[in-house]
Amino acid sequence: MVCGYGEGLRCHVREFGVSRLAGLPRHVRVYEVGPRDGLQNEPTVVDTTVKAEFIERLSAAGLKTVETTSFVRPDRVPQLADAEQLVASFRPRDGVRYPVLVPNARGLERALAAGVQDVAVFASATETFAEKNLGCSIAESMTMFEPVVARARAQQVSVRGYVSMCFGDPWEGEVKPAAVVDVVARLVEMGCQEISLGDTIGVATAGQVEQLLAALNQAGMATSLLAVHFHDTYGQALANTLTALQAGVTTVDASAGGLGGCPFAKSATGNLATEDLVWMLNGLGVETGIDLPALVQTSVWMAATLGRPSPSATVRALASQS
């Protein structure tokens, strides 16, 4: 069959069958973090117009949640210094949420002034990373977040809580589930409506994922509150995701093209690639609502813009077939 570029991707995607595994959800919500978590670690600042087009392409490909930026101090993360400008420059699509990260009360006020309807705070399960990322202890960060969450909820703005270093920390080593449970419980108590569990440096394996989710359930945290956020440093992100799905998780963070990392944890490499996640879920018969060929085309475009190939195996495989 002879196909053009976009048609070639579609032809190849449709050649393979679907086989479900027992215990998986029928639908998974993919929480796209590419424009924020993906681009924050770039060595050079990406132009605002490029970011806006990236966001528009992602939402056009069927992603219903696209995290756009962070209202953080420009000197801390220069790549995201254009937060207000970016939020005002892209065209929102009906039915798509565009959350932003807010590190503190000042960040929240900036986000509210920009008309944002969904925000996230960023906590840590370890003291060392809390100090490096937020400049304070875990306890101090909770005190800082409380008025932020309360103010956002009072404005009918939804609030997500990220917890980083849930499995391992480059300074402290293994992170025990009890430490994560404590931070999650505090975030839920103050009003966070969803908690994303981050394997910030990508060291988790499937057994640890199962153990942490079980510990959270035993502590009274419903699985419906939880999302997972895996980095693919050791190639374990998909295996860890599958384990989480089998445990009942239905929200998975991912980054188009596998972009990303963390500027405050140098051993954190790219996020789970959205295309790799969608390829797996398609083969399992799990619905996402995402147009995979359109998403691949978006990541090929972004890779060309950044001047390097995408680390996503699915992007490379499908793009080579076009």
Contact predicate 271/259, CB 8 Å: yes
CA distance 76 to 258: 23
Instruction: Give the integer Cα–Cα distance in Å for 164 and 158.
Output: 20
Which one of the listed residues 3, 11, 192, 262 is annotated catalytic? 262
User: Virtual CA dihedral for 106, 112, 115, 121, nearest 10 degrees?
Assistant: 80
The b-or-e profile of 212-250 (16+ CB within 10 A means b, else e) is bbebbeeeebeeebbbbbbbbbeebbbebbbbbbbbebb
Q: CB–CB of 38/302 below 8 Å?
A: no
Mark out the alpha helices in the chain (DSSP H runs). Answer: 5-13, 48-60, 83-87, 105-113, 127-134, 138-154, 177-190, 206-218, 237-246, 274-283, 292-306, 313-321
Is 262 marked active-site? yes
What are 198's strand-pairing partners?
229
CB atoms within 10 A of CB 56: 18
- Integer Rg of the chain from CA: 19
Q: Give the other-Cβ count within 10 Å of 29's Cβ.
A: 16
Catalytic residues: 262
